[in-house]
Chain A
Amino acid sequence: MKVVVRARGSWRKVTFKVPDEVWERIKEVCKKHGFRVDEALRIILLDGYIDGQTPDDDEIERIKKRIDELEKELYELEGKWSPLRFKMYYSALDNQNLAIQLSGMIAENKRLRKMLGLPQRDFSKAEELIRYYMSSAFGEPKE
């Protein structure tokens, strides 16, 4: 097999002659480990080989299994998370509407009590919640 390496947009090139049996082995090794031949060629031509401990097949299988488990768990959680997220968005909107109503009613109560010379009620808890639901965090679904 002739491997012709060209510079992009240029006539310059370098050619390598690779025996067919070696080329077949390269293709086999790529297929076995899930790489494309052009990726292997870039390693051969540019990146070079990595020295070090070769991970054993059991360890690779263990990670693959763990990835499958994580993907499954994530998929299941997403299935529960998305509907709950929308449900809570509408709950927050409902409470926001109630907060708007109450805000007006509290203002009226304060005004009436003042006009009648009555002591003011403590609305601190309600006012805190009103601020919470009126905050921009509920303008759209929480990410």
Chain B
Amino acid sequence: MGKVEIEVTTEELARIREHKREIEERFRDIEGLERTLKILKYRILKEREERLRKKLEEMKAHYKELLEFEVKAKEDREFFMRLRKELSEENRKLRERLGG
């Protein structure tokens, strides 16, 4: 007969000892095990779906912000460049007036 070992905590072992009969019944109830695994699998998949959906929503929101910023940064740059040119000229003239 083959042997498989599993380690648990002392508290868990005490619980297992206490419920030995129920556990033996569960070993025989393969349908119950299959139902449980199926339900767990479903829950795990649902959680994964939800996590991905949430991550995608966040990512879309970030991406939208970036696209908006792309437009704003371009407009602001143009504004800054215009103002820099204008002030460079104006300040030069003002310095001349002050010097003269």
Contacts and interface: CB of A to CB of B under 8 A. Distances in A.
Contacts of B74: 91
Contact of A84 (B3, B29, B63): B63
Interface residues of B, number: 69
Interface in B30-75: 30, 32-42, 45-46, 48-49, 52-53, 55-56, 59-60, 62-63, 65-67, 69-70, 73-74
B80 A95 contact: yes
Interface string A69-100: 01101100110110011011001101100110
A120 interface: no
A88 B73 contact: yes
22 contacts: A1-B1, A2-B2, A3-B5, A4-B3, A4-B6, A7-B8, A8-B7, A10-B13, A44-B26, A48-B22, A52-B39, A55-B38, A64-B45, A66-B49, A78-B59, A87-B70, A98-B81, A102-B84, A109-B90, A126-B79, A129-B76, A133-B76
B13 A2 contact: no
B97 A16 contact: no
B13 A5 contact: yes
Nearest to B12: A46
A13 B73 CA distance: 68
Chain A residues touching B, range: 35 or more
A113 interface: yes
Given A2-B2, A109-B91, A129-B79, A46 B8 contact: yes
A35 B46 CA distance: 16
A131 interface: no
Per DSSP, are chain A's interface residues mostly helix, strand or loop, or mixed? helix
Contacts of A10: 10, 13
Per DSSP, are chain B's interface residues mostly helix, strand or loop, or mixed? helix
A10 B26 CA distance: 26
Nearest to B59: A77
A48 to B, nearest CB: 7
B37 A40 contact: yes
Contacts of B27: 3, 16, 18, 22, 26, 44
